A and B are shown apart, each in its own frame.
Chain A
Amino acid sequence: MPIDIPVMQVNQAVVLTVAELTQLNIDAQDIDSYAADMTKVLAMVAQMQSVDTTGIEPMSNPQDAVQRLRADAVTETNQRDVFQQLAPETDAGFYLVPRVVE
């Protein structure tokens, strides 16, 4: 049976919650416009609810195949210097970030 949900009206609280989950800053003056965009997209996708998907297995990958596995062998060499050239800040081989309190 199709799940009956009304078209989602995205409000400021939803925008801020999702922004927090995805670690994005949304400027105060942009919140309404994000909310409007999200509402429009969710309104567009609402038609999915009219489709009867009872008993239909979700399809998360187009390949109906069995996963190949990799042999347990060390194939990588140390490339720290190459990778850390791209890093904003490092010291003594560590990536540095503002202090994290556990």
Chain B
Amino acid sequence: MQDWEVVIGLEIHTQLKTQSKIFSGASTAFGAAPNTQACAIDLGFPGVLPMVNEAVYAKAVAFGLGIGADINLVSVFDRKNYFYPDLPKGYQITQLASPIVVGGSVDIILRDGSSKTIRVTRAHLEEDAGKSMHEDYHGQTGVDLNRAGTPLLEIVSEPELSSAEEAVAYARYIHQLVTYLGVSDGDMSQGSLRCDANVSVRRPGAAALGTRTETKNVNSFRFLERAINFEIERQISVLESGGRIRQETRLYDPDKDETRPMRSKETATDYRYFPEPDLLPIHITAAYIDTIRQQMPELPGAKAQRFIDQYDLSAADALALASSVALADYFETVARVGNDAKLAANWVRVELLGLMNRESLSPSTATLTATPLTAEALGTLIARIKDGTISGKIAKGVFVALWTGAATDTDSYIADQGLTQVSDSSALGAILDTIIANNPQQAEQFRAGKTKLMGFFVGQVMQQTGGKANPQQVSELVNAKLMG
């Protein structure tokens, strides 16, 4: 590996979060029965015409602003011609010469803590294709065109990524950004973010890039890392054994953990792009861009910095809590209701994320609103720890009860279950008196200076009160009764 330099560029297709398709009024909802969301326009019927969905422009502009790119005030749709069963018109409407977003960059943070700026070449709008199902149709291929016409933003990076790790960090950042901006729902299990990786290797210092391959349609970060690493190793091994790399399109097979050349797709390599004559150039104004700019949410980096400044959080806590808008909003509500940001950060990051991680859940808006453990409930729980109503240990039980649904409201659960700390000194004193009477030997040793027996007495009290005593108060009582 020492002798080779790796050059990677990513093309990320992100599905835009819209109600309807980019050129038709058909729904983009996921999971419908085949071809029930493919209207005459999506099917490429004779005589139909495309009409551009305005929402795709707002989202593309927001993304462009999010990476500090230039927004083309005039952008043009083109036709890209090739035949494939999931491409109904025989051409894809996309943007070649005048894309909506030009330039921009993102900063990625690597495992060793270093950071790197990756420039974005362009981002353009286009329509998605349908899906071909190759199994179970009597030896034929079944075509479902529900996805045809779904709006995509294709984000093309400069070939500035030098390893699979960098590529994944870049893809994760783009994923985080488009989710943050509401540009995409980012649901990778539904294909909302798909990567094509252009990989080549060359000797360090070589002027020209090596021949590249394009590995298409990788739909998870884990697969992206593995596909790129496989491709790097394959290319190096080919070159080191005196072979040559063929410029080709490859597919990653997760089952075999390898890439292989695609056999049929797009045999025609001359796409014959030309301006889409059914559509006129799209003009947007500086005022429109300003409107989008004013609606831009706080971006992940800025949010993490604010968490550090405003809540005095550690960088690690701030980055983790700012990783999604849903989680960040949740944390801020917990901090406000609980009136203790550090405690809130600790509970959200350690307890909540730990629990979700064990259950393989991601901190999305859906999962964070599907549980009775709302941000308000957790905030209240923290407030009850702080005001001494319950102990931290009891609080963990309440936390789990809220998560599982055994509890629906923090305060009423504490009250109903009688979890309030026993802070009545005379009651605790009576319990302690009994314990001292039943354990004269330990009492004698304590009096003789063996103060580490404090734990024994506190533990006994906690046991007899079901954990509801305030340990601080109990140890004060022990001191008063045995030493006083």
A residues neighboring B (CB under 8 Å):
20-21, 23, 60-61, 63, 65-76, 78-80, 83-84, 89, 91-102
Q: Which of B37, B81, B272, B280 contacts A65 (CB 8 A)?
A: B280
Q: Given the complex of chains A and B, what is the CA–CA distance between A83 and B263 in angstroms?
A: 31
Among B21-29, B294-302, B388-396, the stretch in contact with A:
B21-29
- Chain B 258-276 residues near chain A, CB threshold 8 A: 262-265, 268, 270, 272, 274-275
Contact: B25 with A83, CB < 8 Å?
no
Residues of A within 8 A of B134 (CB): 99-102
Q: Given the complex of chains A and B, what is the CA–CA distance between A84 and B143 in angstroms?
A: 12
Contact: B83 with A97, CB < 8 Å?
no
Contact: B27 with A74, CB < 8 Å?
yes
Q: Given the complex of chains A and B, what is the CA–CA distance between A83 and B37 in angstroms?
A: 12
Chain A nearest Cβ from B393, distance in angstroms: 51
Residues of B within 8 A of A69 (CB): 51-54, 57, 282
Residues of A within 8 A of B268 (CB): 20-21
Contact: A70 with B36, CB < 8 Å?
no
Contact: B277 with A60, CB < 8 Å?
yes
Q: Given the complex of chains A and B, what is the CA–CA distance between A14 and B83 in angstroms?
A: 19
- The reply on B139 being an interface residue by CB < 8 A is yes
Q: Which of B45, B142, B251 contacts A83 (CB 8 A)?
A: B45
Q: CB-nearest residue of chain A relative to B50?
A: A70
Chain B nearest Cβ from A65, distance in angstroms: 6
Q: Given the complex of chains A and B, what is the CA–CA distance between A63 and B264 in angstroms?
A: 39
B residues neighboring A (CB under 8 Å):
18-20, 24-27, 33-40, 43, 45, 51-57, 81, 83, 85, 132-134, 137-145, 251, 262-265, 268, 270, 272, 274-275, 277, 279-283
Contact: B20 with A75, CB < 8 Å?
yes
Q: Which of A20, A71, A84, A100 has the most CB of B within 10 A?
A: A100
Chain A nearest Cβ from B83, distance in angstroms: 5
Report if A84-B251 is in contact (Cβ < 8 Å); known contacts: A74-B25, A93-B144, A94-B143. no
5 pairs of A and B residues whose beta carbons are closest in the complex: A75-B25, A94-B142, A72-B55, A69-B54, A93-B34
Q: A72-B20, A76-B37, A95-B145 are in contact. List 17 more A-B contacts (CB 8 A).
A: A66-B280, A68-B51, A69-B52, A69-B53, A69-B57, A74-B27, A78-B36, A79-B39, A80-B35, A83-B35, A83-B40, A89-B140, A93-B33, A95-B35, A96-B140, A99-B141, A102-B263
Contact: A61 with B277, CB < 8 Å?
yes
Residues of A within 8 A of B26 (CB): 74, 76
Residues of B within 8 A of A74 (CB): 19-20, 25-27
Residues of B within 8 A of A80 (CB): 33, 35-36, 38
Q: Given the complex of chains A and B, what is the CA–CA distance between A23 and B25 in angstroms?
A: 30
Residues of A within 8 A of B133 (CB): 94
Q: Given the complex of chains A and B, what is the CA–CA distance between A66 and B282 in angstroms?
A: 6
Residues of A within 8 A of B141 (CB): 96-100
Q: Which of A61, A66, A70 has the most CB of B within 10 A?
A: A70
Residues of B within 8 A of A92 (CB): 34, 142
Contact: A67 with B280, CB < 8 Å?
yes
Contact: B35 with A76, CB < 8 Å?
no
Chain B nearest Cβ from A80, distance in angstroms: 5
Contact: B280 with A100, CB < 8 Å?
no
Q: CB-nearest residue of chain B relative to A70?
A: B51
Contact: B138 with A91, CB < 8 Å?
yes
Contact: B25 with A70, CB < 8 Å?
yes
Chain B nearest Cβ from A78, distance in angstroms: 4
Contact: A83 with B138, CB < 8 Å?
no
Residues of B within 8 A of A101 (CB): 134, 263-264
Q: Given the complex of chains A and B, what is the CA–CA distance between A93 and B160 in angstroms?
A: 44
Q: Given the complex of chains A and B, what is the CA–CA distance between A80 and B137 in angstroms?
A: 18
Residues of B within 8 A of A63 (CB): 280
Q: Given the complex of chains A and B, what is the CA–CA distance between A64 and B25 in angstroms?
A: 26
Residues of A within 8 A of B38 (CB): 80, 83
Contact: A98 with B280, CB < 8 Å?
no
Contact: B54 with A96, CB < 8 Å?
no
Residues of A within 8 A of B142 (CB): 91-92, 94-96
Q: CB-nearest residue of chain B relative to A72?
A: B55
Q: Given the complex of chains A and B, what is the CA–CA distance between A74 and B29 in angstroms?
A: 10
Pairs A–B under 8 Å by Cβ, sample size 17: A21-B81, A21-B270, A60-B274, A61-B277, A69-B282, A70-B25, A70-B52, A73-B19, A74-B26, A89-B140, A91-B138, A93-B36, A94-B35, A96-B140, A98-B140, A99-B139, A102-B263
Contact: B85 with A100, CB < 8 Å?
yes
Q: Which of B35, B55, B134 has the most CB of A within 10 A?
A: B35
Q: CB-nearest residue of chain A relative to B42?
A: A76
Contact: B279 with A67, CB < 8 Å?
yes
Q: Given the complex of chains A and B, what is the CA–CA distance between A75 and B26 in angstroms?
A: 6
Contact: B280 with A97, CB < 8 Å?
no
Contact: B43 with A83, CB < 8 Å?
yes
